[in-house]
Amino acid sequence: MIRKLAWSVLFPALFLSSLACSTKKKGILNIGYNTINAKYNVLFNGKEALAIGETILAQAFDDNFYEILPIEPLNLRGENFDETTLVPGFNRAEEKAVKTIQKYSIRIDEVQYNNQIEQAYLLLGKARYFDRRFFPALEAFNYLLKSGAKRSVFVEGKIWREKTNIRLKNYELAIDNLRPLVQSLPSNNAFYPLANATLAEAFLQLEALDSARYYIQKAADKEPKKKNKARYLFITGQLFEQQQKHDSARWAYQEIENLKRKAPRKFTVQAKIKKAFLASEELAESRELQLKRMLNNYENIPFEHQIYSALGELYLKEGQDSLALVAFDQSNQAPQLDIYTEIQNYTSLYTYYFSQGEYVKTGDYLDKVLPLFDEQSVLYKKTKRQRDNLADVIIYEKRANETDSILDVLKLSVAEQRSFYERFIEDQQRRSGEELKKQIETKQFIQTGRGKSSFYFYNSNLLLQGRQSYLSQWGNRPNVDNWRSASELKSAQVEISQKSENIQILLEAFSNNPDQYIDLLPKTEKETDSIRALNQKAYLQLGLIYKEKFSNFDLAQQKLSQLLTKNPPEELAVQAMYHLFRIAEKQELNRAEDYKKELIENYPESAFAQLLSDPENFSATGIVTPERLYENVLSLYNNNSFVEVLEKLEPLKVLTSGSSIEPKLALLKAHTVGRLYGVESWKEALNEVVDKFGEIEEGKTAKNLLLQIEATGELREQGPIYKNYKWVFVFQREQWNPIDPSVLIFQKQIKETRAQWNISIDPYNEKFVFVVVHGILDPNEIEQWLEENKTNSLTVLTNENFVALSSQYRTYLKTKSWKPTK
């Protein structure tokens, strides 16, 4: 009886349970069972995974307070925005959303009876969005909006779809879709702040700052989450600043301060910094005092790099340069220094040094800031261009300083040289000790745990702890196979330690022994003259660069005047004097006349003196810019008028001296010399280009050409040589006429009778021009052609002519080894 009763109760329960699992029926039990399972099981786990991923993104994101902040911090620095993120959680959230849809969807007759499915589609879109797969995310949101979701889910889904459109750069579409939604939402709606913030983001991307400021301010007014409210208020202040509405900007930053400890500390600190800069000029002292007071607050220790940077900017603005440099240095030395503050500091420093005409220091800071940029960014390309513009001046400044030092040391006696290097070694050791001490203090600061917590691979504090944990357990082991086995390591460690000891001994012996430095000094007069020549050329190039490239006439005058005190050779002296004359023309006419007189009287044969003494007849052919002069000569070169090129180049050396065209003309002259006089002369001319312009593009090109010539054995033939022949007619250059009737008739006859042959005009040297017939496979073809055309009176055939293999003819052109027989 009891058994029958048990079965009578158990069987209906099992039957009802099985019915409840079905997604094919829309019964109350089915809907309730699948809804609860979806909400509190799979979907719950998916939302938790999404929340973990969002937390990691938030912790890993560094705000760049030196630009307008992003309304939604999303991508991680160092990752490719076009690829999926490395942050875990989003894949799992997507899996759970898909599982919810597949397992718990009750869709019957185009109607969805499980209200958690719309939440699953929303989760699916968000997971893909944060994983930066925006097209699949857009697909999920579009499906959600078409599925008849309830009002709250529909509104949220629409906002997220437009966020996705913004990421896909469909800004106008996002604005068109969001503006009606924002206008229809009441201000107390939970999605009102998010909708306004998203619309502001779209306007911000289109640089419509006024509209962006209007909507982000509305979002800030109604945002309940204080961290989001602080962000929106800060962006509002930044946009007011962009519109030069400083009072309104101060109001926005004050609103952040009014949030007190409810706002993230970073926004409070930055708001105070911004307020200090927006204070009136009369309150300059109070601004400085306010920033220093912030430094004394222990809660601001994680942000001291930003406060010091702001203090440096304030000092620069007030003209207190030395204090500004100290503040920037303190900012760069702060343990919590972030990459954006570092970029800002270096940018301020190189801008300052450039304005002071200290181009070497400018280049040093540009070198420091370049690696901090993404190489594909516009800022990187702009900064790289600035650095490239300084390349020449930095190279020549360093060369001038180094050669000056060597020449100064050479003037000392051996005892004085030893004393000099002893002081130098002591100074180097002292600096190394200070640097080491500073590094140790920095590491100790980091180990105290002051760094912010974030995802392991983006947190330098956690990485350092991981390294320390490894070292404490395993020690400092070399990177070899079987690294955990002590026996396998023994031989490797012995070898490494021996090498380290040897290197250390060598370093100590070299760095602590003044005689090592003395032995490196030039010993012969030839070596000293070589260094002196490098020094003088560096000073000349610096003077020309400062004059022509930077229009810094004071520095140019200083360098060129210094050159003249070094007793330079005439070639350098006349250039320096000419450019000093041109500088003095703008400033001191009396001194300009002195330079002109000295040039004409002491160097009358120089092209510079001829230009100054008779400018009317100096060959400039009416062309006034160096660029046009270069184009004119290059056109002659391309037309094989090599003798004319050399004739034009000599006077142009004066007109282009110091300009960016000067090295181009020098390289063109080298090529022209090579075409007229052969490989050996070409090498000599290229070496001259390398000596004078070795550090810039044309000098490097000449150097590469010299290496190629050496590598190919004076440009000897490489690979198979085919037996093609050249029929060469020789013309005296004095008698040569490109439209000579005899040549034109000959060309016409060849064209009509031998389609496979062709004719070229090749200048051989300054005395001869060759008319060359190409495409001949056998010398007998020439005899056959002469037989066929013996009735034609071709006067060109009376000229000296010869037949040569193609390889032999090329050798003639390279080495200029052909000799006339008449």
- What pLDDT sits at residue 686? 85
Who wins on pLDDT, 597 or 503? 597
Who wins on pLDDT, 191 or 658? 191
Q: Six-digit token pair at 820?
A: 């006339």
- What pLDDT sits at residue 250? 92
pLDDT in tens, 409-464: 888 888 888 888 888 888 877 877 777 666 666 555 444 444 444 444 444 444 44
3-class DSSP state of 587: helix
- What pLDDT sits at residue 592? 85
- Plot region of 714 (φ>0 → left; ψ -120 to 50 → alpha; else → beta): left
Please report which confidence band the pLDDT of residue 205 belongs to, taking 50, 70 and 90 as the band edges.
very high
Contacts 24+ apart (CB under 8 A), 612-616: 612/578, 612/581
pLDDT in tens, 543-570: 888 888 888 888 899 999 999 999 998 8
Who wins on pLDDT, 647 or 402? 402
Q: Six-digit token pair at 95?
A: 């899996």
What's the per-residue H, E or C state across 211-252? HHHHHHHHHHHHCCCHHHHHHHHHHHHHHHHHCCCHHHHHHH
Q: Domain 525-613 carries which CATH code?
A: 1.25.40
Please report which confidence band the pLDDT of residue 14 belongs to, taking 50, 70 and 90 as the band edges.
very low
Strand partners, 730: 770
Who wins on pLDDT, 578 or 13? 578
pLDDT at 664 over 60: yes
Q: In whole angstroms, give the CA distance from residue 631 to residue 326.
A: 50
Average pLDDT over every residue of 682-711: 81
Residue carrying structure tokens 């044309």: 698
- What pLDDT sits at residue 665? 82
- For residue 625, how far is the Cα from the chain centroid? 31
pLDDT in tens, 778-801: 777 777 777 776 656 566 666 677
- What pLDDT sits at residue 612? 79
pLDDT at 12 over 60: no
- What pLDDT sits at residue 526? 87
pLDDT at 655 over 80: no
| CB 98, CB 91: distance < 8 Å | no
pLDDT at 719 over 60: no
Residue extents of the structural domains in the chain: 525-613, 626-711, 725-815
**DSSP conformation letters of 90-106:** HHHHHHHHHHHHHHH--
Average pLDDT over every residue of 222-226: 92
Query: Pick from 651, 199, 495: which is nearest to 191 by CA?
Result: 199
| CB 674, CB 668: distance < 8 Å | no
What's the per-residue H, E or C state across 779-810? HHHHHHHHHHCCCCCCHHHHCCEEEEEHHHHH
Please report which confidence band the pLDDT of residue 726 belongs to, taking 50, 70 and 90 as the band edges.
confident
pLDDT at 383 over 70: yes
3-class DSSP state of 145: helix
| CB 421, CB 517: distance < 8 Å | yes
- What pLDDT sits at residue 203? 95
pLDDT at 303 over 90: yes
Q: In whole angstroms, give the CA distance from residue 173 to residue 649.
A: 60
Q: In whole angstroms, give the CA distance from residue 56 to residue 211.
A: 32
pLDDT in tens, 65-117: 999 999 988 765 545 555 666 777 888 888 888 877 777 666 655 555 566 77
Who wins on pLDDT, 36 or 482? 36
Query: Pick from 753, 728, 701: which is nearest to 803 by CA?
Result: 728
- What pLDDT sits at residue 494? 43
Q: In whole angstroms, give the CA distance from residue 517 to residue 422.
A: 10
CA dihedral (61, 63, 68, 72) positive or negative: positive
Domain formed by 626-711, architecture = Alpha Horseshoe (1.25)
Give the phi and the psi of residue 227 in degrees, each rounded to 5: -65, -40
Q: Domain 725-815 carries which CATH code?
A: 3.30.70
Who wins on pLDDT, 165 or 436? 165
Q: In whole angstroms, give the CA distance from residue 291 to residue 276.
A: 7
pLDDT in tens, 524-547: 888 888 889 889 888 988 888 888
- What pLDDT sits at residue 325? 93
Average pLDDT, rounded, for the chain: 78
- The answer to whether domain 525-613 and domain 626-711 are alike in fold is yes
pTM to 2 decimals?
Answer: 0.67
User: Cβ of 408: how many Cβ atoms within 10 Å?
Assistant: 10
